[in-house]
Amino acid sequence: MKRIFIIPALLFIFMLNVASMCSSDDNSSPSTNPSTVINTVTQGTWRITYFFDTDTNETSNYSGYNFTFNSDGSVVAVGNGLSITGTWSVVNDDSNDDNPSSDLDFNLLFTSPEIFADLSDDWDVLERTDTKIRLIDVSGGNGGTDYLTFEKN
């Protein structure tokens, strides 16, 4: 009789143990906490490994540039004999600009040159790992979708 009770009890304990090993803390999924992305991007230098602007792959425009995201909100792109400064921030989505409204916005602003001004937007964070930040923007004006990926050097 005790054996009949012990087997289901052991099975129940095993299932609880397996369930506790599952975690919703997936490093590749962005959380709704801006500090996770901020802490990642302010470590080291980054390069653009993919920039798709509506219907054109423009990744090659940024070849040779390394980006440093400073904790004071400035970003500096250095390469090809140039140093280009802009601003950046990561904030909780304001819920009015897109769907889903529970994501993070990665804001980038460069005023010049024009190829860097093309990066200026309030990007949605698709993925964050220790070495990669994937961003997306769906344009409200023309309906095009832009993608931007930074990878750590």
Q: pLDDT tens digits for 104-120?
A: 999 999 999 999 999 99
- Residue 8, in any domain of the structure: no
Q: Could you tell me the CATH number of the domain that includes residue 132?
A: 2.40.128.270
Decide: 129 and 123 in contact? Cβ < 8 Å: no
- Residue 5, in any domain of the structure: no
Give pLDDT tens digits for 54-98: 889 999 999 999 999 999 999 999 999 999 999 999 998 755 555
- What is the C-alpha separation between 153 and 66, in angstroms, rounded? 8
Confidence band for 12, pLDDT divided at 50, 70 and 90: very low
- Residue 9, in any domain of the structure: no
- What is the C-alpha separation between 121 and 86, in angstroms, rounded? 12
Confidence band for 23, pLDDT divided at 50, 70 and 90: very low
Give pLDDT tens digits for 124-153: 999 999 999 999 998 766 678 999 999 999
- Residue 88, in any domain of the structure: yes
Judge residue 5's burial from the number of C-beta atoms within 10 Å of its C-beta, 0-12 exposed, 13-18 middle, 19 or more buried.
exposed
Q: Count how many domains the chain has.
A: 1
- pTM for this structure? 0.75
Residue 124 lies in domain: 30-152
Confidence band for 8, pLDDT divided at 50, 70 and 90: low
- Residue 1, in any domain of the structure: no
- What is the C-alpha separation between 19 and 12, in angstroms, rounded? 11
Nearest to 135 by CA among 109, 98, 110, 104: 104
- Residue 3, in any domain of the structure: no
